[in-house]
Amino acid sequence: MGQADLGLRGGTVHLPDGTLIEADVLVAGGRIAGIVAPGTGEAAESVDVGGLTVLPGAVDAHLHLGHGMNIARPRVPDDAKTETGAAATGGVTCFIPYIMSADPYLPVFDEIIGITEAGARIDFSWHFVIATDAQMAELPTLIGHGAPTAKLFMNIRGDEGARLGLPGIDDGFMFRLLETLAATGGMLCPHPENIEVAWVLRDRVRAADPEGEGGLATWNATRPPHVEADALARACRTARVTGAPLHAVHTSSAEALRAALAERAQGSDVSIETCLHYLTHDETSGIGAVGKVNPPLRAPEDREALWTALTAGEIDTVGTDHIHRPVESKEGGIWKAQPGFPGLDAFLPVYLTEGHHRRGLPLSRLIPLVTSNPARRMGLSRKGALRVGMDADIAVVDLHADWTITKDNLATDAGFSIWEGQRMGVRVVHTLSRGRFALRDGALTDDSVGQGRFVARQLEGVPLSHAAP
Ligand SMILES: [Zn+2]
């Protein structure tokens, strides 16, 4: 091996098989060039990471990169600059936002890549929300362009999608969409809610609590777990009969989890994602309308059921569902507040503080769910593992930190976090995207802006293994 560009020296390195070894990581040409005995191998620059843990950078397969109050798509390079800054702060080195529109995507495909690449500090790909027949007809081409994952809002029936500018769909649309995905190498990411039942419940709950005094519990009661589970079961069953894979996004409740696992047992190729906030918060968390999200924060028992499933290897991935609307979007109480909140800045610190420090799970259990599993499931063949030849996307973390999340240490332009005030035992020290520092010694670097690139994905077509750890 010739001289590497960079050596991360003296750290504890997390290998793809889950073992931790004392090693130096060498980077050349943006790829991992070697994982070698400490002090060996030549590098033009060496950085001492003694006492720190070297992880593959996190892959967040669920977020929304929008502009101001609009979560449909990025509009200016600064949208990517701030939110990839949030990602690097949280140890995320690649993410896949959902792009949403009622219009065809191909006419704007290159434009949104260009806008995003101009500001991005890390690599990214896209999922597209499919809501019209014209968009469905574009799918083979979108898949050919490296965007093989389609989101379906199962809840946009009738006028429900008007808030997002989308027309209504039905189960026949979902059936045809899954057939198309099965035929063209794609995968469905459904937002599962039986909205017809939720409408009935919303009217009842609203009549009983018109001022929204019940806060998050009131919101949960308008679209409870059975609403999520019913739609998820339907989507998984339809995916099975059409032969398409399905990624169960933002699974929030024990009941939805059971529905997905039952379908998996029937042969459905379903991977299960939960989100960070369902692992740390519930309807009793006392954060008010700031915590309004869809699906809602659930009961404490749901949160514990998710941890049990995660520990058992039944949950495949953890994402953020990051939305960077400003904090003003949360005003007006539980009925008026917009759903969603940012999560990228806090990602690895919160996940590892809760999972590793508080719950005692080994890194070998936790890390794949935020690195190799989403990378493999989403077709990011060069991301998610520290292995020679992979992209040098790396998060170097201090597992023995003690700090508190405040507004001041957030990079998202949303300017708030549901974890504000919480003490963290883990801190991201360095984040590298293809061998370049996006975050160095805890500070975002200026020269990382505009270095992120669109990554074309191709699904492997192989279900994830669910063998017990
Ligand atoms: Zn989302």
77 and 146, same domain (yes or no): yes
294 C-alpha to ligand 1 centroid (Å): 8
pLDDT score for 2: 83
50: CA distance to ligand 1 center in Å? 37
| CA–CA distance, 56 with 59 (Å, rounded to integer) | 9
Residue 160 pLDDT: 86
> What domain range includes position 9?
4-55+388-448
Residue (of 122, 135, 53) closest to 356 by Cα position: 53
Is 466 contained in some domain?
A: no
Q: What secondary structure letter does DSSP report for 304?
A: H
At 166 the pLDDT is 85
Q: How much is the pLDDT for 469?
A: 43
* E-only strand ranges, 84-215: 92-99, 123-124, 127-129, 149-153, 187-191
- Expressed in angstroms and rounded, the spacing between residue 275 Cα and the centre of ligand 1 is 10
Tell me the two tokens of residue 309: 């499933």
Q: What is the CATH number of the domain that holds 171?
A: 3.20.20.140
Q: What is the mean pLDDT of each run of 10 residues along the chain (469 residues)?
A: 92 98 98 98 98 98 94 94 98 97 96 98 98 96 96 92 85 98 97 96 97 97 98 98 98 98 96 98 96 98 98 98 96 96 98 98 98 98 98 98 96 97 98 98 98 96 64
Our CA dihedral for 361, 367, 370, 373, rounded to 10 degrees, sits at -110
**Cα-to-centroid distance, 63 and ligand 1 (Å):** 6
CA quadruple 46, 48, 54, 59: dihedral sign: negative
CA of 321 to the centre of ligand 1 (A): 4
The neighbourhood of ligand 1, an ion, using CB within 5 A, equals 321
Measure 70 CA to ligand 1 centroid, in angstroms: 13
CA of 52 to the centre of ligand 1 (A): 32
Q: Is residue 190 part of a domain?
A: yes
| The pLDDT of residue 467 | 55
Distance of CA 156 to the CA centre of its chain: 22
The CATH number of the domain where 405 resides is what?
2.30.40.10
CA of 240 to the centre of ligand 1 (A): 23
122 near 383, Cβ under 8 Å?
no
Q: 407 CA distance to ligand 1 centroid (A)?
A: 23
Residue 358 lies in a domain: yes
- Residue 356 Cα, ligand 1 centroid: separation in angstroms? 25
Do 124 and 227 fall into the same domain? yes
CA 204 to ligand 1 centroid distance, Å = 26
Q: Going by C-beta distance under 8 Å and a sequence separation of 6 or more, which residues neighbour residue 241? A: none
Task: Output the CA 448–ligand 1 centroid distance in Å.
Answer: 26
Position 383 in a domain: no
Query: Would residue 435 count as lying in a domain?
Result: yes
Please indicate, yes or no, whether residues 271 and 208 belong to a single structural domain of this protein: yes
Residues 23 and 81 reside in one and the same domain: no
Does residue 152 fall inside a structural domain?
yes
pLDDT score recorded for residue 460: 87
Q: Is 263 within the bounds of a domain?
A: yes
Q: What is the pLDDT of residue 297?
A: 98
Count of structural domains, the chain: 2
Q: What is the distance in A from the centroid of ligand 1 to the CA of 164?
A: 13
Say if 459 falls within a structural domain.
Answer: no
Same domain, yes or no: 173 and 256: yes
Q: Confirm if 271 and 249 have CB atoms less than 8 A apart.
A: no
Å from CA of 64 to ligand 1 middle: 6
| Shared-domain flag, residues 374 and 410 | no
Residue 214 Cα to ligand 1 midpoint, Å, equals: 24
Q: Tell me, what's the pLDDT at 461?
A: 76
Question: How many angstroms is it from 67 CA to the middle of ligand 1?
Answer: 15
